[in-house]
Amino acid sequence: MPEKKGRRLKVALVDEFLTVDGGAQRVLKVLHDMWTEAPVYTMNYFPERFNPALTDWDIRTSWVSKLSFSRGLELQYLLFYPFAVEMFDFSDYDLVISITYAGYSKAIIVPPDCLHISYVQTVPRYLWGYRTSAHERVGWLYKKIILPPLEHYWRIWDRQSSVRPNVLLANSHNIARRIEKAYRRESTVLYPPADISDLLSTRRKGESSDYFIYFGRLEKYKCVDMAIRACVSAKRKLKIVGRGLCERELKRLVAQLGAEGLVEFTGWISDEARNSAIASARAFIFPGPDEDFGLVMVEALAAGVPVVAFSRGGAAEIIDSSRIGVLVDDFSQIELDCAVASFDPKMYSSEACRKRAQDFSVDVFKRNLLRIVDLSVEKLMK
């Protein structure tokens, strides 16, 4: 582990919200595994959302978590978060690693001799013109009248606070470009860790089944409706694993297309059942046009399953060979329809898929992060 002046670094971790168990929290779990004694600072924490529970973690929440009805009004407390995050005290630490996706945790204030590394999952999508599910969860009045003037202020604050970390890490070259555009700062790319050990050991049982699969959250900006239309057009079965705000809308679309026999919604299923469903699929279809990175694509590859995606966002970095998937150049329904209709599983290599997935393993992430920390500590001490 990195040292400072002959002693081990005293480390703290920061994650903006522990209210869902999502992609950022996967990164946090790996960081906590590396620094098990490090406290975790967060704006809000809903312990019931985590399985397994984080019972042995030292979790320290902001004053926002003490407000009444915090579980129902977390979006309405947006105005308070910039103030709350600046009130955390890191005076006792040598190294603070923050994970940011809404823009808040990078704004923490640390002492001059403390190294702050901020891992940027994305610049705040709702501030910089990228589609997000956040706006789908608020009403018209809030979205059209209240938010616009506030977002102007937040954009200014977001850019100003981006100078506070010593080091910015981007979870992909896609995000590095967003950081340069929004913050005018360079960043180092560190791909997120994919826990793929179980998927790597999940083997296909004979020939793959004759269905495509999508797994993940069912949100509008994920464009799952395009996957449905493409599979229905090609008369191919589609299995959809997951839940989200658009689930009812997507089910209505299936009914309108008369495709109940082709499209199956499984909801959330056990990891074992999900892994088995992935490994048996013809291909994983990922229609999101501007995904920050897309760990679900790595998970599909780990199961030996090729990916069909648009050549945008993180997909263009993950699918680096025609042996592991199809990248559709033009973002259009017609092009995706053609890619699904012409897809031939015999053109792809399960072993090549698995080999590529291992480039994003937890061990690779840990090794690269420790190297970055060592170099950054050495630079700070000069």
In the predicted model, is pLDDT for residue 3 greater than 70? no
pLDDT tier for residue 328 given thresholds of 50, 70 and 90: very high
User: Is-contact 122 169, C-beta < 8 A?
Assistant: no
Residue 306: how many other CB atoms lie within 10 Å: 26
The CATH homologous superfamily for domain 197-360 is Glycogen Phosphorylase B; (3.40.50.2000)
Residue 34: how many other CB atoms lie within 10 Å: 18
Does 3-193+361-381 carry CATH code 3.40.50.2000?
yes
In the predicted model, is pLDDT for residue 169 greater than 60? yes
Query: What pLDDT digit, counting tens, does each position of 292-312 carry?
Result: 898 999 999 999 999 999 998
C-alpha radius of gyration, the chain, whole number: 21
Query: What mean pLDDT is reported for the chain?
Result: 89
Query: What pLDDT digit, counting tens, does each position of 266-285 carry?
Result: 998 888 899 999 999 999 99
User: Where do the structural domains in the chain lie, given as residue ranges?
Assistant: 3-193+361-381, 197-360
Say yes or no: do domains 3-193+361-381 and 197-360 share a fold.
Answer: yes
pLDDT tier for residue 133 given thresholds of 50, 70 and 90: low
Angle among Cα 231, 236, 237 to the nearest 5 degrees reads 95
Please tell me the total number of residues recorded for the chain in this structure: 382
Q: What is the pTM of this model?
A: 0.89
Q: Which ranges of the chain does DSSP label H, i.e. alpha helix?
A: 23-34, 81-85, 140-141, 147-161, 173-183, 197-200, 224-233, 247-256, 271-279, 295-302, 315-318, 333-341, 350-357, 362-381
